[in-house]
Chains A and B, each alone.
Chain A
């Protein structure tokens, strides 16, 4: 199978790879780039665990091929924390108990980034609607919603230095 050369930016770092055209973006991120924080739950675009941020949009990495992200800017869960500090959204998930097993969490974090970049002060119903495409079997979603609400408030504070990737 002829491999295709791609160049992209992942978590701020330029990456170059040659990949088979059929390789899923999720497999590319996990196994070729060794970034296993992106999780695969259903491999057919329903659960949202594999969501990553591609050029500002939260997308299902199991529904894209790696060759489609040539030239793109991608943020995975590994790109959120800065040094020893969790990202404000991660911090809010920690403080609000927005995760239990954590398997769906990277996808939730990607969805939350997109939501809060577009809508810095979402209502609970808007948060609920935004994460309705992310399945979680542990939490019953309530503390996920409170985590995103709390993260939004943190990010709106004037002293917040965190800038979300624009959509």
Chain B
């Protein structure tokens, strides 16, 4: 192990339920518990919420990318019948403080602009009216005088901008919000000793989740009773009342956030704090409950959920025999106008930046640049999808320069099965894995050798057909140090280290189990997974479990579904709760059976005497007796009435970053592995890419529900196909976002998806989580872009086209082909 990692000691495993075969419910493709109510139209999404006396808000948005607000005239809007109030950023600032920020020092963001706007779509005023139609009419009547300022659109130009082009002169002297350098291990020595240094400039452009449901809030405020009551489709409703309360100037106890069924997140609804603060502030100003649901345009331009937008200058050090020794890069990232999560997306990427390969050291300079675009937020991968692509691009480049086979080069450098837990240069560990097995399975499923021959023959016939392969990591179960570990050590900010997940389990007197979750349903399967795990652990039937979601006041410790954490974390909470409930069940049941607790066991929903048939009491009987017949049990608090327990599970395996940041600690250790192989054909005349064949093999440890995991892989792969081939954010030179709608932002339809997608699974259980479960919510998007890019480059290998930037939309690819043709004839 490299000297710099010596202080990063791997804590012992806290696993209680060991991975094993022969389980009853875990591993079954059970139908989802959540579905009947959703399918029947009774799901209850944010726009389905109505409260008495509710008014509706519409926003006045900036048409400029960067401008000072000289004046706002709201008189005509206020005069429109049905309008309750019209409010500007100055009004809003009377009742709320700026948004919370993980950037340190913070970049100030008001929920409604004060003084100037920094991107198209930023809100400068809001109308509250009796209905949304009137509110939108009135918003049209608000008149704003602007002084237009220079717009920063280009990443590198913005980094050098001065004067009026500086976005936040009160917070930073220029548009570089953060510029930090790191060296993990002996990077300089490895590069000095390298036989070959492979260099590439790689560009990954903006993308975003664009869930079909936008963000929305229903908020009311009562100064004399309870403060704020807020319905929100935030993932974080049980985690963030503390920081949102800070902006709203109330304690978490005066802020009740009620979750709803959420129409997709993929990261985009993780925080959602700005719209909560904005709508809550309007409710307070207007004195009535207010509903605000973003329309699609507002979701595109103001929802703070654009994905990474990076420029890499990357170098891979390779020894003479093809062994990778070190990776280093300078990365500039176009964060847009604000920096809500700091450079958390780069912190995230540190979890697996060296991929599945044995690379001894890693160095990075990260430069966070502010521009006049909508700010970044999370999107499935949270930055690691980009470094996966960079790593795989560099491996393909190395294979080309060394003249070796790209698959063989991967196999040569892969971490071996006996090397786990494996600590990568940044300090994160890979808990377990068998990358060779995943690769072998994928090769066989795809019939790689046959396809390669076939593609070569087709190319010889003049067709542009190629095969691409990617072997990537899928880190899961995040620790929050990723949000701040790359901040300057003198201003680290809020150095959060907790990501707990809690659950409350009650056996009601009928014998049904009533479970309260603290994280929302966003399209994942929180109820189904809990049903499977509790049924497994407590020997009951999943259909005997009924579900409920807490609000932020009744709930306790929930961080929600993101970072592929929920399944593994809630499994931990389920096991903790089951252990506590089992103890109580045995105590009550044993007393009823006139036995000692150590003489009984759980068996088929009963407390039963070990080794004896018919000596048993059903959970229902015990719950009924313990709830209503106190005098049947001895005195003492151990027999307090009822069977209910609350349990919290903390992150299973994390350590602090080193104070000098010589490593970043363990923060994202439960790793899956994926191999995607794809065959494509490019139409050289149009630049259109057709997917001919696709195989994906994922290792997400012990599978709880193979069917829902397959759904995650499929969906993530669709997202990755969109990111790679079709979806593009087009900004013009003035910072106008020219395609913020579903007609021009081309997300994949059923027609763009591969016809014969083959999915396989390998199960390498984690030694650190309950039952060996790993997260699997992001893998598709973590693998598809790399495999597709390789395949396209292979398809066009005879034409000398290189893919160094995503997306490669048909016009982009046609342009690259044309450039290559012209270069060849010149």
Contacts and interface: CB of A to CB of B under 8 A. Distances in A.
27 contacts: A27-B132, A30-B48, A36-B41, A36-B48, A37-B42, A39-B45, A41-B212, A41-B213, A42-B296, A77-B39, A90-B40, A94-B31, A97-B711, A99-B38, A101-B213, A103-B264, A129-B751, A135-B749, A136-B212, A137-B212, A137-B719, A138-B523, A138-B715, A140-B711, A140-B718, A141-B714, A141-B749
B757 A135 contact: no
Contact of B750 (A27, A76, A100, A145): A145
A94 B39 contact: yes
Most buried by A among B38, B47, B717: B38
A116 interface: no
A99 B35 contact: yes
Contacts of A49: 212
A99 B263 CA distance: 11
Interface stretch (B302-310, B455-463, B549-557, B740-748): B740-748
B40 A37 contact: yes
B133 interface: yes
Contacts of A30: 47-48
A131 B717 CA distance: 18
Contact of A103 (B211, B708, B715, B747): B211
Contact of B39 (A93, A103, A133, A143): A93
Contact of A97 (B42, B263, B708, B719): B708
A63 interface: no
A100 to B, nearest CB: 4
A78 B41 contact: yes
A26 B262 CA distance: 19
A61 B267 CA distance: 29
Interface string A123-167: 010011101111111111111110000000000000000000000
B524 interface: yes
A15 B743 CA distance: 34
Interface in A79-136: 80-81, 86, 90, 93-95, 97, 99-106, 109, 124, 127-129, 131-136
A105 B757 CA distance: 22
A42 B214 CA distance: 9
A53 interface: no
Contacts of B212: 39, 41, 47, 49, 101, 103-104, 135-137
A34 to B, nearest CB: 9
A3 interface: no
A20 interface: yes
Given A93-B39, A97-B32, A103-B212, A46 B743 contact: yes
A38 B212 CA distance: 13
A137 B717 CA distance: 11
Contacts of B523: 100-102, 138
Contacts of B742: 41-42, 44, 46-47, 135
B-side interface size class? 35 or more
Interface string B707-750: 11011001111110000000000000000000001110001011
A106 B41 contact: yes
Contacts of B22: none
Nearest to B132: A27
B302 to A, nearest CB: 16
B39 A100 contact: no
Contacts of B36: 86, 94
A16 interface: no
A54 interface: no
Nearest to B745: A46
B39 A101 contact: no
Contacts, number: 167
A70 interface: no
Contacts of A13: none
Contacts of A7: none
A105 B38 contact: yes
Most buried by A among B36, B39, B707: B39
B743 A44 contact: yes
A43 interface: yes
Contact of B757 (A80, A94, A95, A142): A142
A58 interface: no
A143 B714 contact: yes
A102 B40 CA distance: 10
Nearest to B522: A101
B787 to A, nearest CB: 15
A141 B38 contact: no
Given A22-B133, A44-B742, A140-B780, A95 B31 contact: yes
Contacts of A64: none
A35 interface: yes
Interface string B234-264: 0000000000000000000000000001111
B593 interface: no
Contacts of A139: 711, 714-715, 718
Contacts of A22: 133
A127 B751 CA distance: 10
A66 interface: no
B729 to A, nearest CB: 16
Contact of A140 (B47, B714, B755): B714
A146 to B, nearest CB: 11
A56 to B, nearest CB: 20
A105 to B, nearest CB: 6
A78 B40 contact: yes
A89 B128 CA distance: 41
Contacts of A101: 211-213, 261-265, 522-523
A25 interface: no
Contacts of A144: 750
Given A106-B41, A128-B751, 20 more contacts: A41-B212, A41-B213, A76-B41, A77-B39, A78-B40, A81-B40, A86-B36, A93-B39, A94-B32, A94-B36, A95-B31, A101-B523, A103-B263, A129-B750, A131-B750, A139-B714, A140-B715, A140-B717, A140-B757, A141-B749
Interface in B506-531: 522-524
A10 interface: no
Interface string B749-768: 11101010100000000000
A97 B751 contact: no
Q: Which 9 residue pairs of A and B lie closest in terms of their CB atoms, listed nearest first?
A: A37-B41, A101-B523, A103-B263, A140-B714, A140-B718, A102-B38, A46-B742, A77-B41, A36-B48
A67 interface: no
A74 interface: no
Contacts of A106: 41
Contacts of B261: 101-102
